[in-house]
Chains A and B, each alone.
Chain A
Amino acid sequence: QVQLVESGGGVVQPGRSLRLSCAASGFTFSNYGMHWVRQAPGKGLEWVAVISYDRNNENYADSVKGRFTISRDNSKNTLYLQMNSLRSDDTAMYYCARDRGGRVFDYWGQGTLVTVSS
């Protein structure tokens, strides 16, 4: 069965960096675009970034553009999110999600919590 497992979250000081990972299994990872979506405490879901199945295309929300980088290693079935210059408003649960096509997120992980605080 399809499984997505995020890791790498934690407490980090403002201005520092963190790298999240999402380990995929149960499907041919290299065939699917992948997304990161986050949810700040008490807020709705916010799309963060997308990467195409072949790594040729990436897009970002304006709120993270220039600070976050999405990447993937298809040989390791793993998606990444490199987060630099973290701010307090980056505090959120971060989810990875599979794109079934048409930017529909058909499978999600359970999330990893990032807290940016001094």
Chain B
Amino acid sequence: DIQMTQSPSSLSASAGDRVTITCRASQSISTYVNWYQEKPGKAPKLLIYAASSLQSGVPSRFSAIRSGTDFTLTINSLQPEDFATYSCQQSYSIPYTFGQGTKLEIK
């Protein structure tokens, strides 16, 4: 199975800050990485697909890049609604594994 090692597991930041979250894949997976936002009691939300493509309707302050087997999600100018948990997912091969999640909290 492909392991997705996500870091950090938690992060404290203030509104207006820029934050980055990283996932490292255990093997080469091209651009088959997607990013999701999770909030308690709500349906998870797709933010980024194919490593760097912004899902329709997602604000442009969210962006992501790939460098080899490293995948990075960046959130610019944090808004209050961005405090949530973020998870990466590889869609290269079954089982479609997720990172352990990064909980973004208000400082």
Mark A residues whose CB is within 8 Å of B: 4, 35, 43-47, 50, 59, 61-62, 95, 97, 100, 102-111
Contact = CB atoms under 8 A, between A and B. Distances in A.
Contact of A45 (B42, B43, B98): B98
Describe B's contact surface by its main secondary structure.
loop
The listed residue with most A CB atoms (<10 A of its CB), out of B32, B50, B91, is: B91
A111 B43 contact: yes
9 contacts: A44-B101, A45-B89, A47-B89, A100-B49, A103-B32, A104-B49, A106-B49, A108-B44, A108-B45
A47 B45 contact: no
A44 B99 contact: yes
Contact of A95 (B44, B94, B100): B44
Contact of A106 (B38, B55, B98): B55
Contacts of A97: 44
Contact of A108 (B43, B55, B91, B94): B43
B52 to A, nearest CB: 13
A4 B36 CA distance: 17
A95 B49 CA distance: 19
Given A105-B36, A106-B55, A44 B43 contact: no
B interface residue count range (under 10 / 10 to 19 / 20 to 34 / 35 or more): 20 to 34
A44 B100 contact: yes
B101 A109 contact: no
Nearest to A46: B98
Nearest to A109: B43
A47 B43 contact: no
B91 A102 contact: yes
Nearest to A106: B46
B97 interface: yes
B72 interface: no
A43 B97 CA distance: 13
Nearest to B33: A104
Nearest to B101: A44
Contacts of B44: 45, 95, 97, 105, 108
